[in-house]
Chains A and B, each alone.
Chain A
Amino acid sequence: MDGMRPFVEGLFIAAARVCGFVACFLPLALLAAIVAALLSAGWSVAPGASVAGLLAPLVVTLGLAVVGGLVGATAGAGTALFAHELVTGVPAKAARIAPRFAAAVPAVVVGWLAAAIVLPVVAARSFVAVMVVAGTVVALCVAARSYSLTVRALKALPASLREAALALGADATRLTSQVIVPATRRRLFGIYIDAVSRGLGEATALSIVFASAVRMGYDLKAFSIPAQMLTHARIGQTFDSGLALSALFVFALCACTRVWAGRLIGRFEWA
């Protein structure tokens, strides 16, 4: 049965441990690099390189992530419940097309479409209008993942649960509202937190929306932090502590929410 030589076996184990170490400690290495950059650049090299300077972008980031994440997760989870629990046959298959399509659309295309199609037709050139469009963009970016996580949560439920409810005479609506949703409540909450986590790190689509809004003459008070970081590359990258501080903020926010979501969703089902 043992078809490998001890040397090859040992080599494989060593390689696996090295790769495991890399996958495990890569974020810590990134964190160390950010802190080193922060220390080497000093605290006040560039404008906005202080905690106070990041306050307005932080509020925008959190607001967009929470609103967009909640809307996106509701859309994703709702579509999953509808397509996998409430209807069967052709309607179910039709309802599953939208999230599959959304999964194939990169964030850069979502951002471009919002900037090129939606922003020019918005009548009020205000900060709120941009935030509404940006929130919608975040929702679109997180909805597909929320859908797939919810489908996984629904498939993980034991068949006996459904069988017992059906045996008691529950129809599909009652089964979903009084058995399936309560049984997956913890995971659904985790899926919402996961969507917020994704929203916190969204940069590509939002940077396009914000940059286009500025060009179109919208009154913008602040970008979100990730969008600000990416716009940094557009205007010419410079080594400053503002970028390092922003990276640290986004990293901390995403890590906290993601770990929380992971704990709620369960062992590796968040992957």
Chain B
Amino acid sequence: MGVALLPANGGKAQEAAGFFGRLPILGACFASVLAALIALGFAAALIAVGWKYVPAALTASVPQGAAAAIWISLVLVVLTMPATLAIAVLAAACAWDINIGGTVGRTLRGWLVFSTSVPAVVVGATVFLLCAMLGLRVGIWTALAAVVALNVPRTTARIVRMLGYIPAQTIDATAAAGAAPAFAFFAVALRTIRRPLAALALALCAQLLGQAAVIVLAGGLTGDQPLAVQIWKFAPDVRLAGFQGAQSLLLVAACGFFVAASGAVSSYRPRRRISAARASLGVGT
């Protein structure tokens, strides 16, 4: 591949080629430093503006109160995350095994990239338009339905990708042992990806906490709102910058908790089994 192009000696043309060849490296270094600086500036600004207003934001009454909004956000996550994950796992099973999915599974594998392309704002607007045509009022239930509709294809695609990492030998061995498709899926496939699946569930919680556009359009702006929607609603009012900063800080902390937990779960390696294996081999004792 590119190794054959490595210049052996100097020469102006080769030096020029080397310089242009190294441009991506300079870009990468610059991008990395810039990203770190922006992240630092971002975190510093968030803390500087919002930190001292956190107690006030937590104890304030509606509509600026963060405690009620956090509670509603958590209710939203509790209601939508299991539903999304359950539908996505079943849909992924459909795409994973031809014996489970049949024609639908084959179609799903081809269509998932299109299914995941719908932006949140389009899903929200469509649910609103649908409700208007059917004469229904938008509210919490239409918002929940829109959130599930938005996240099911994306979560399905991620689970299908995870299932694709299961070694072919494992699948062949399961089939050779005569396992039924459902048994193979639950006892072998899901068992194999249980840790990435748990990480995905936690990442999904963070994603759901941060969603605003779909809820605003499909649920309207009346009544109590989740934290992300509350921030969006009052964001253009610069007089509330302190409160907004505190609410943003709380939202980032909540999302950060779930993202960190997701990272910890996906990178976790059970030490006990390794220790047991080492002990059985007489290593390190």
Q: Chain A residues with Cβ under 8 A from B248's Cβ?
A: 108-109, 112-113
Q: Is the interface of A mostly helix, strand, loop or mixed?
A: helix
- Residue A258 at the chain B interface, CB threshold 8 Å: yes
Residues of A229-245 contacting chain B, CB below 8 A: 229-230, 232-234, 237, 239, 243-244
Verify B117–A255 contact, CB threshold 8 A: yes
* With A26-B149, A79-B31, A246-B125: A178-B180 Cβ-Cβ less than 8 Å: no
Contact of A17 among B101, B133, B149 (CB under 8 A): B101
- Residue A104 at the chain B interface, CB threshold 8 Å: yes
Verify B119–A97 contact, CB threshold 8 A: no
**Number of chain B residues whose Cβ lies closer than 8 Å to a Cβ of chain A:** 110
CA A113 to CA B235, docked complex, whole Å: 9
Q: Chain A residues with Cβ under 8 A from B183's Cβ?
A: 1-4, 9
Residues of B82-131 contacting chain A, CB below 8 A: 87-88, 90-91, 93-95, 100-102, 104-105, 107-108, 111-123, 125-126, 128-130
| Chain B proximity of A28: nearest CB distance (Å) | 9
Stretch touching chain B among A42-50, A51-59, A123-131, A263-271 = A263-271
Verify A247–B104 contact, CB threshold 8 A: no
* With A233-B217, A239-B132: A16-B122 Cβ-Cβ less than 8 Å: no
Q: Chain A residues with Cβ under 8 A from B52's Cβ?
A: none
* With A254-B117, A262-B113: A13-B28 Cβ-Cβ less than 8 Å: no
Who on chain A is nearest to B5 by CB?
A178
Who on chain A is nearest to B115 by CB?
A27
Stretch touching chain A among B56-64, B249-257, B273-281 = B249-257
Q: Chain B residues with Cβ under 8 A from A17's Cβ?
A: 94, 100-102, 104-105
- Residue A173 at the chain B interface, CB threshold 8 Å: yes
- Residue B166 at the chain A interface, CB threshold 8 Å: no
| Number of residue pairs A-B, CB distance < 8 angstroms | 359
Q: Chain B residues with Cβ under 8 A from A94's Cβ?
A: 36
Verify A204–B25 contact, CB threshold 8 A: no
CA A244 to CA B40, docked complex, whole Å: 40
* With A74-B31, A105-B42: A116-B241 Cβ-Cβ less than 8 Å: yes
Verify A244–B120 contact, CB threshold 8 A: no
Q: Chain A residues with Cβ under 8 A from B31's Cβ?
A: 74-79, 82
CA A104 to CA B255, docked complex, whole Å: 5
Verify A181–B178 contact, CB threshold 8 A: no
- Which 9 pairs from chain A and chain B are nearest by CB? A78-B31, A201-B119, A106-B210, A20-B94, A258-B117, A262-B113, A271-B157, A82-B32, A19-B90
**B residues with CB within 8 A of A:** 1-3, 5-6, 21-25, 27-32, 34-36, 38-40, 42-43, 45-46, 49, 87-88, 90-91, 93-95, 100-102, 104-105, 107-108, 111-123, 125-126, 128-130, 132-133, 138, 149, 152-154, 156-158, 160-161, 164, 177-183, 185, 187, 206, 209-213, 216-217, 220-221, 228, 231-233, 235-238, 241, 244-245, 248, 251-252, 255-256, 259-260, 263
